[in-house]
A = this chain, B = another copy of it.
Amino acid sequence: MKVSSLFLFSALLLLDTAAASPSAKPGKKKKKDWGNKKPKNFIMVIPDGFGPTSELMARDYVHWKDNSTTMLPVDGLIIGQTRTKSSDSYVTDSSASATAYSAGIKTYNGGVGVDSTFTPYATVLESLSLQGFKTGLVVTSRITHATPASYIAHTHHRDLESNIALQLIGHAHPLGRRVDLILGGGSCHFLPSTTPGSCRPDSTDAFTLAKGLGYNVFQTRSEFDKNPKLPYLGLFTRDHMSYEIDRDSAKEPSLKEMAIRALNDLYSATRKSKQGFFVMVEASRIDHAGHANDPVAHLHDILAFNEAMDAIREWIDGHEDSPTTMVATADHECGGLTVGGDIPQDPSYWYAPSWFAGSRASAGVLAKRFLAFTGSDEEKKKFLREEVLKPYGISDATDAEIQEAAKITSSGKLETWLGKAMGDRARVYWSTGGHTGADVTLYGYGPKVEEFAGHRENTEVADFIVDLFGLNLESVSRKLRKNQTWVDEWVKPAKGETMKASVHGH
């Protein structure tokens, strides 16, 4: 979402959210009454690495910009909080958390759809698919990344993304093709190692395999716009899709566009059947901006998440013939974000979201732009001031800052430097380049969601879906485990292989 569209976006909030949400004025609550309806469909939304303060930081920016005090779309959908720890740490990674959400088990950081003995556990997506539901995965990261992987793949470590790609499309999955709709980034794990830009260690052509399994495969926005038929696999970028603030809408659809397309396609495909659909939508890169300690990229991906959530809520309201329940919750906080610092003049406590108003690109993109620039020292400093700091929103850089930044020779370090320069101005701080243990906010909408309100362990998200649809994950797990060759080859570490690499930067 571009900044200019925020005005309309916020105006809509004033009209919509109060009436539709549980957060209207006391005594004036008009929550949509779903009666005793059971849902036909389920939407799981995961804003990755999105802590409570991420939302606050974005909301205060909108408040400053619009001189408003309204809620953002997801605020109106709050139903509780989620506890996130994994089986081996008070601070989870994305794969352990997504495995809790998908399979209802606690596992170690790094584990994908397996427990700490590498035993595979069936997911709600697999179980619903076997029952005839249509399924989808929609993300802005590589589609083989930890969160989507944990809904369909089973392997001892999240970094095995080329393995995950083949499980995802059903080629290396004991239950065959189980995902009908796939949208996101990460084509590199589908291209054979002989193709430039591939990340595969082998010559397997996963796109060709996917076609053989029935998928319509596409890699461009223009093909996406031609409304391909299910099942489809659309990957728009080699690596992760762009941060929202950097996104070229001619090349990559927004999270909202992908989510609504997914809902419409899954709805059409299940309109006449008793079974509905299940889709997992991930706002993947809120997390990456947290790891990079880049408040600007973080902010705009949060706004894009809010916009997608508002559209999803609206979609649910508009499709009462196919009742849909939605639960959204982050997998963990990222970066240890805090907002507000002490300043020596009144008011002593202060956060200044106005600093974000001038931002036009992420710190990562700008840092790479600078390192690609060649010129004299003076030209470099001018470029830094005009073409890096200014588009990042910093127009008052001191000479000392320019001097310091000009010396940086790694784009990762310049990315962090830019984030800190912005943070010091806006009074936005990060405590880590990794995750924290913070509880995350639990959101929900649609039939039966009140029954899930409260403080929840992350595994209870899967329990809720199991209860809603009467699933038997155990029996599906047994089917997975029966295939010993698959377990040995695709799930477990090879003999002598390190159990797991350390999990950094995800």
Residues of A within 8 A of B (CB): 21-27, 29, 52-53, 55-57, 59-60, 63-64, 69, 71, 75-76, 78, 80-81, 83, 85-86, 88-93, 108-109, 333, 336-342, 344-353, 429, 431-439, 441, 451-457, 460, 463-464, 467, 500, 502-504
| Max chain B Cβ within 10 angstroms of own Cβ: one of A53, A60, A333 | A53
**Interchain CB contact under 8 A, B26 and A464:** yes
**Interchain CB contact under 8 A, A89 and B350:** yes
Q: With A432-B338, A467-B27 known to touch, is A349 a contact of B56 (CB < 8 Å)? A: no
Q: With A342-B433, A348-B504, A503-B347 known to touch, is A60 a contact of B90 (CB < 8 Å)? A: yes
Distance (whole angstroms) from the CB of A343 to the closest CB of chain B = 9
**Interchain CB contact under 8 A, A347 and B431:** no
Q: Which 4 A-B pairs have the closest CB atoms?
A: A23-B454, A336-B338, A91-B349, A340-B436
Distance (whole angstroms) from the CB of A430 to the closest CB of chain B = 8
Which residue of the partner chain B has the closest CB to A22? B454
Which residue of the partner chain B has the closest CB to A69? B457
A353, B89: Cα distance in complex, Å: 11
**Interchain CB contact under 8 A, A346 and B502:** yes
Residues of B within 8 A of A27 (CB): 451, 467
Q: With A52-B52, A55-B439 known to touch, is A341 a contact of B503 (CB < 8 Å)? A: no
Residues of B within 8 A of A338 (CB): 333, 336-338, 431-432, 436, 438
Residues of B within 8 A of A437 (CB): 53, 56-57, 60, 339-340, 351
Residues of B within 8 A of A452 (CB): 26
Residues of B within 8 A of A451 (CB): 26-27, 29
**What are 21 A-to-B residue pairs whose CB atoms are below 8 Å?**
A23-B454, A23-B455, A26-B451, A27-B451, A52-B81, A56-B437, A63-B85, A69-B457, A75-B455, A76-B455, A89-B351, A90-B339, A91-B347, A108-B347, A109-B346, A336-B340, A337-B338, A338-B438, A339-B437, A347-B503, A431-B431
**Interchain CB contact under 8 A, A504 and B89:** no
**Interchain CB contact under 8 A, B109 and A349:** yes
Q: Contacts A29-B454, A56-B438 given; 10 further ones with Cβ under 8 A?
A: A60-B85, A91-B350, A91-B351, A109-B349, A336-B338, A339-B437, A341-B434, A342-B432, A351-B437, A429-B431
Residues of B within 8 A of A25 (CB): 460, 463
Residues of B within 8 A of A342 (CB): 432-434, 504
A435, B341: Cα distance in complex, Å: 7
Residues of B within 8 A of A76 (CB): 454-455
Partner of A438, one of B53, B341, B464: B53
Distance (whole angstroms) from the CB of A471 to the closest CB of chain B = 13
A27, B469: Cα distance in complex, Å: 12
**Interchain CB contact under 8 A, A503 and B348:** yes
Distance (whole angstroms) from the CB of A117 to the closest CB of chain B = 17
| Max chain B Cβ within 10 angstroms of own Cβ: one of A86, A433, A441 | A441
Residues of B within 8 A of A75 (CB): 81, 455
**Interchain CB contact under 8 A, A434 and B348:** yes
**Interchain CB contact under 8 A, B26 and A81:** no
Residues of B within 8 A of A63 (CB): 85, 90
Which residue of the partner chain B has the closest CB to A75? B455
Residues of B within 8 A of A92 (CB): 349
Residues of B within 8 A of A460 (CB): 25-26
A352, B93: Cα distance in complex, Å: 16
Residues of B within 8 A of A22 (CB): 80, 453-454
Distance (whole angstroms) from the CB of A216 to the closest CB of chain B = 37
Residues of B within 8 A of A53 (CB): 436-439
**Interchain CB contact under 8 A, A434 and B340:** yes
**Interchain CB contact under 8 A, A429 and B463:** no
Q: With A338-B338, A434-B341 known to touch, is A71 a contact of B455 (CB < 8 Å)? A: yes
Distance (whole angstroms) from the CB of A196 to the closest CB of chain B = 32
A358, B504: Cα distance in complex, Å: 31
Which residue of the partner chain B has the closest CB to A61? B90
Partner of A439, one of B56, B455, B500: B56
Which residue of the partner chain B has the closest CB to A434? B342
**Interchain CB contact under 8 A, A436 and B339:** yes
Partner of A26, one of B60, B438, B463: B463
Distance (whole angstroms) from the CB of A47 to the closest CB of chain B = 15
Distance (whole angstroms) from the CB of A349 to the closest CB of chain B = 4
Partner of A503, one of B52, B90, B340, B349: B349
**Interchain CB contact under 8 A, A350 and B90:** yes
Which residue of the partner chain B has the closest CB to A291? B342
Partner of A340, one of B90, B108, B345, B351: B90
